[in-house]
Structure 1
Amino acid sequence: MPSEEQVQPLDASEEAFVRELGRVLLELPRAVDADMVKAGGLPLSEYTPLMYLSEAPGRAMRMSELAATCSLSLSGMTRVVIRLEKHGWVERVKCTEDGRGWNAVLTDAGLDRLVRAWPAHLASVRRHLVDHFKGHDLAELVIAFRRVAVTGEPAHD
């Protein structure tokens, strides 16, 4: 930990940025979830794993990997996958690699459900997030966010 002499206080714009980012991190998922449920009943908590599974090789991911990708605990992901299984959108299959873990596998019905939910997700994300950044360099923002997510360290350009 840095000593008190090494800590540089935030200026007003930095402080405002940090506080507003915190609000966005809480409110954006809530807003998108509400829009999606209203549009077709698929909550963001179910849409997100279906989306990641659709992009995975063989439409399958190890449960622990899917949980990490969705920022959930393994037990939380298991509860979501059980709900998805009840709808026939996902199957759990024993891992062939080591026989110990489980894979979540997106079914054809799950892919169809994802495709039907995609327009509501897209419209909501555009309205609540993307449209607010018109004129900004999104590629640079992606790079900065990726640095924060991966290393937690500032850019050293």
Structure 2
Amino acid sequence: MTATLSRRDRSSVRQDAATRRWVKRAWLPEVTPSRSQLLTYAQTRIATLTDADAPGRSIGWAPVHSAIANLAMSLLNVVVASDGLATPQIAPTPDGGLDIQWLVSGDSLELTLDFQDCLSIVGRRDNGEYVFGPFEWDFQDDVDTLVPILVSAGRFLEKISTGIQHRLPIR
């Protein structure tokens, strides 16, 4: 059964002039962020999460530990290797760690850092198929073992970033 609107009902759902202006402004040309803008955004967000009054503190979560924040920025310096990539979503974990995700058209890249599991890197396609990972690294492991997986993660991020349909500007 299809619902139809009468002429009187249709006139009540018309947009007013202010709404039309707002909708028109929403269709501005895409601005792709540079590598440095993405890293600055990530650094600012991570710094906010390390504060004593960081989000999550009110429910008993620990602020992001500075060692985790420093490691995260080192990893992001390798993974975010070019301009125009997807913007990361950065969230704290309850134990003072970080969860950094890129989600584009169902594909995802996720870096999780904390003191228990240390580092986990996973890349998945929309169909649930793993592109790589889960790769796990511990603070006692050799740092050189991280380089190939971080380069792979950066390449995967470049591939999925081509699927961005609507980009929000970063501030």
Tell me if TM exceeds 0.5: no
> Would you tell me which structure has more strand in proportion to its own residues?
2
Please tell me whether Structure 1 or Structure 2 has the larger radius of gyration of its CA atoms.
2
